[in-house]
A and B are shown apart, each in its own frame.
Chain A
Amino acid sequence: MTAEAQKAADEAQENAAASPETEAPKPVNVGKIKTILAANEGARMRMWLSICSRCGLCAESCFFYLAKDKDPKLSPAYKAIHTIGKMYKAKGEVSREFLEECKEVVWGQCTACRRCTMYCPFGIDIATMIATARAVCYSQGIVPDGLARTTENIRTTGNQMAMATEDWIETCDWMAEEYGEEVHGLEIPMDKPGADYMYTVNPREPMYYPQDVGMAAEIFHVAGLNWTMPSTGWDSTNLAMFAGDRVVATIPVKAMYDKALELGVKNIVITECGHAFRSAKFEGPYWVGIPGGKPPVPVIHSVELFRDIMREGKIKLKHKFEHKVTYQDPCNVSRNGGLWDIGRELVNMLCDDFVDMTPNREHNHCCGGGGGFIPMGPPYKKRRMESGKIKAEQIRATGATHVIVPCHNCFDQINDLNKEYDLKVKVVSFKEIITEIMEIPESMIPPEEDEEEAIQAEEEAKEAIEKGAMEEAGEVQES
């Protein structure tokens, strides 16, 4: 897109972002809409809008369609034609009521999982079209509250949960201490220049699941990595991307890139989170304006790093994981990240009894929690549970007792599905499995305590953390 068109569109969005909670009956700003539409009307968009042969092949790829008895209004092509298609047709001259209807479609009926793209003979990228429709709605203050709130947090504090830097650092220190009791010499090095890996997290980890931070540190320490935790730019998630606000979406990505460059680290590592990976590795470079479209420092997902650690034998296992597991391919890790084989390689190195879901790999269904759905919170929960039926059935059919999930959004969604559909599974991250079965080298076993005490301390620590997390997580629906 042209620099001017982009700038204008960005400005339009910026203005909109200043007042996301606009009152309902208010005229729409057609000029703003036109600018956004123009900025996104590239050759691909034009082709997609004009060559869809209306063949309907995309319908069966979409889990919303499948979960609701094949309601034809939930087919991807229908959703695109009746939102973004109409916006372009009307040249942006649309009513607020229309945009309100679009909101229910572009956020409530699509998780931007991009499965349909793979099923269309022309490779029409419905999710990207829907993303533009989201940007249009957002520019008029029409957006689910949950996303408006998180976007506002990013805008004002640089991270989606408005966590203060001191609290972040304090949490890291606390976890270093806590996990240092299990692994002698463990530390969480802050802002270490020249580290091989700069680890970035999802703010819900320090906020509600601090053990995630501790477990990552434990793994990296035992594996002997030269790693660091950044004091700024540590939030790699990006819900502004799903809200449709490119200006705000740039903020966390830029902070992360800047920090990585400032420290001169070799890699940015993304925690077990799907959309963070997409934002940092694929979309981010374009928002920040890096020619060539690649991040300034290589971005890798935890799945890749853990696989490398295991493959190189940097971590030994006491034994393999003893339960029957299945693996959830997060859309933004597998289909949109190309890591489906690496994920499986890692699963197989850790577990003996692995059953795949059907379909799987890049063809896996979205869990139903992606595209901003989880943070959209209670108003959308019922729909989330309905559309999640497909995922629930997939999981049930495997007969697994544990679902390995390298993504926070999938994690929450599958936990919710677990309750809703009584799946009787346990949802686990790779971190949890690795720390549970890995061997702590002799030299790292804390000296004074004898073994029994150590185990007891470990258990107490875990309990304390979990208890704390539960209390807080009870009221919160964000990720």
Chain B
Amino acid sequence: MAMDKLYEFLTGPALWITVIIFVGGLAIRLAWLFGLSQERDKPWHDFKSAVWAWRSIIHWVLPWASVSSRNQPVFTGAVWVFHICWIGVPLFLGAHNMLFDEAWGWSLPSLPDAVADWASLAVIACGVFFLVRRLSRPEVRILTSAWDYTLVLLALAPFVTGWLAFNQYGPYGLMLNLHIFLSEVLLIVLPFSKLAHMVLFFASRSAIGYEFGTRRGARVW
């Protein structure tokens, strides 16, 4: 069957390529930026400090820990739930872990399926909220390009398709393949888009922590 062939391809060579591009892309981008910084971002290196990097990061990882995030408490809550679930669900999903186990013989602990299912819905709900917010707040809409909408949709795609497949809504085979395909597209795009913030967030927050904290004794949250 075509679906099975496709499934084999998507979970075989395509998956390998995806992983290599995703991990390699992020690693190379980070390494390259680090190299560049040594040449052109002197203050960054002159004022490095683990303490200030940590303070700068932690106040923005925890929800409502910065004045700015408290100014928009609902959005902050949504961003937080979105991120926790977005990262947590795929890593601790039973179905994924079965695949990990098959492929490498090890797996992470699994969340109860019902929890993962609800968490997936939470991601989708937050994503819809982001889209509505983008459209309804003039100061956000004016900044948003078609590509920004696309990225939110792309970030949601694995959750929508995964959820549909898991619950066996719609044609299962197609849904599963679609799930894997869109997940792979996302993972390939991620390192080269603003979503690379999943690693660059830590770099840019550290840099501003040094700039304000070590260099000037001032807080940035």
Chain A residues engaging chain B, CB cutoff 8 angstroms: 1-2, 5, 39-44, 46-48, 50-57, 59-61, 65, 70, 72-73, 75, 77-78, 81, 117-125, 282, 286, 292-294, 334-338, 359, 362-363
Contacts and interface: CB of A to CB of B under 8 A. Distances in A.
Contact of B71 (A39, A57, A75, A294): A57
A446 to B, nearest CB: 42
Contacts of A335: 218
A117 B218 CA distance: 12
B162 interface: no
Nearest to B45: A293
A76 B190 CA distance: 25
Contacts of A70: 138-139
Interface stretch (B20-28, B101-109, B112-120, B197-205): B197-205
B194 A52 contact: yes
B34 interface: yes
Given A50-B194, A118-B221, A282 B215 contact: yes
A42 B216 contact: no
Nearest to A50: B194
A362 B197 contact: no
Contacts of B196: 50-51
B47 interface: yes
A46 B39 CA distance: 13
Size bracket of the B interface? 35 or more
Interface string B115-158: 00000000000000000001001111111110010000000000
Given A72-B142, A122-B197, A123-B209, A46 B33 contact: yes
Given A51-B201, A118-B68, A122-B201, A44 B207 contact: yes
Given A50-B196, A122-B205, A56 B140 contact: yes
A5 B212 CA distance: 26
B12 interface: no
Nearest to A341: B217
A67 B138 CA distance: 16
A123 B204 contact: yes
A43 B218 contact: no
A156 to B, nearest CB: 30
B70 to A, nearest CB: 11
A53 B194 contact: yes
Contacts of A78: 139, 142-143
Given A44-B37, A293-B215, A73 B203 contact: no
A336 B218 contact: yes
Contacts of A60: 71, 139
Interface in B142-189: 142-145, 148
Contacts of B46: 292-294
Contacts of B66: 118-119
Contact of A55 (B47, B140, B200): B140
B45 to A, nearest CB: 9
Contact of B218 (A1, A39, A61, A338): A338
Contacts of A52: 143, 194
A202 to B, nearest CB: 21
Contacts of B217: 337-338
A43 B139 contact: no
Contacts of A119: 66-68, 71
Given A47-B200, A47-B203, A1 B40 contact: yes
A135 to B, nearest CB: 15
Interface centre among B40, B196, B197, B219 (most CB of A within 10 A): B40
A77 B143 contact: yes
Nearest to A339: B217
B142 A121 contact: no
Nearest to B47: A293
Interface string B60-86: 100000111101100100000000000
A105 to B, nearest CB: 14
Given A2-B40, A56-B137, A286-B42, A75 B143 contact: yes
Given A43-B34, A43-B40, A362-B219, A53 B47 contact: no
Lowest 8 CB-CB distances: which A-B pairs, in order?
A123-B208, A338-B217, A42-B40, A43-B37, A56-B140, A119-B68, A59-B139, A1-B40
B200 A51 contact: yes
B202 to A, nearest CB: 10
Interface centre among B33, B134, B148, B212 (most CB of A within 10 A): B212
Contacts of B134: 54
A408 B14 CA distance: 63
Contacts of B138: 70, 72
Contacts of A39: 40
B204 to A, nearest CB: 5
B56 interface: yes
B1 interface: no
B7 interface: no
B8 interface: no
Contacts of B68: 57, 61, 118-121
B205 A123 contact: yes
B220 interface: yes
A54 B41 contact: no
Contacts of A72: 138-139, 141-142
A286 B215 CA distance: 13
A293 B215 CA distance: 9
A440 B221 CA distance: 44
Given A54-B144, A70-B139, 15 more contacts: A1-B42, A5-B40, A41-B40, A43-B34, A47-B200, A50-B196, A53-B194, A54-B145, A57-B72, A61-B68, A72-B142, A117-B208, A119-B68, A125-B208, A286-B43
Contacts of B60: 121, 123
Interface centre among A73, A123, A359 (most CB of B within 10 A): A123
A435 B137 CA distance: 51
Contacts of A42: 36-37, 39-41, 44
6 contacts: A72-B142, A73-B142, A118-B66, A122-B200, A286-B42, A363-B67
A75 B204 contact: no
Given A50-B194, A52-B194, A75-B143, A1 B205 contact: no
